[in-house]
Chain A
Amino acid sequence: MKNLLPLQNKFQDYLLNLRDDFKKDIVGTERVSTETRLGIYRDAYRIRLHDALAANFPILKIYLGDEQFEELAFDYLAEYPSHFRSIRWFGDHLSPFLSQQEKYKAFPFLSELAQFEWTQTLVFDAKNSEILQLEELGLIPPESWGSMTFELHPSVHRLTFSWNVPPIWQALSDETTPPEPIQTPNTAWILWRQELVTHFCSLSEEEAFGLDALMKGNSFEKICEGLCQWVEEDQAAMKAASLLKGWILAGLIAKVAWVKP
Chain B
Amino acid sequence: MKSDLKKPHLGFGLGLRTDHYQTILNEKPKVDWFEILTENYMVPGGQPLFFLDKIRELYPMVMHGVSLSIGSTDPLDQTYLSELKNLAKRIEPKWISDHLCWTGIHGKNSHDLLPLPYTEEAIHHIASRISEVQDYLGQRILIENVSSYLTYQQSMMTEWDFLSEIAKRADCLILLDINNIYVSSINHEFNAIDYLKGMPAERVYQIHLAGHSNMGDYIIDTHDHDVIDPVWDLYAETIRLMGPVSTMIERDDNIPELSEILIELNHARAIEKSIREKSHEKFIALAE
Contact = CB atoms under 8 A, between A and B. Distances in A.
A129 B46 CA distance: 10
Given A25-B154, A49-B111, A31 B43 contact: no
Contact of A88 (B39, B150, B218): B39
A85 B42 CA distance: 9
A242 interface: no
A86 B42 contact: yes
A201 interface: no
Interface in A180-195: 193
Contacts of B80: 85
Interface residues of A, number: 50
B236 interface: no
Interface in A73-89: 81-88
Contact of A24 (B150, B151, B153): B153
B179 interface: no
Interface in A2-51: 2-5, 7-9, 11-12, 15-16, 24-27, 29, 31-32, 34, 36-38, 40-41, 44-45, 48-49
B106 interface: yes
B138 interface: no
Contacts of A233: none
A126 B45 contact: yes
Contacts of B117: 3-4, 7
A34 B150 contact: yes
Interface stretch (B119-127, B165-173, B203-211, B266-274): B119-127
A125 interface: yes
Interface string B45-70: 11111100000000000000001000
Residue with the greatest number of chain B CB neighbours at <10 A, chosen from A24, A37, A85, A126: A85
Nearest to A195: B50
A128 B109 CA distance: 28
Interface stretch (B5-13, B23-31, B71-79, B225-233): B71-79
B105 interface: yes
A34 to B, nearest CB: 7
A25 B153 contact: yes
5 contacts: A27-B155, A37-B149, A83-B107, A123-B46, A125-B48
Given A27-B153, A125-B43, A128-B50, 18 more contacts: A1-B125, A8-B72, A24-B153, A26-B151, A29-B189, A31-B189, A37-B149, A41-B149, A44-B112, A45-B110, A48-B111, A48-B112, A82-B108, A85-B79, A87-B39, A88-B39, A193-B46, A196-B50
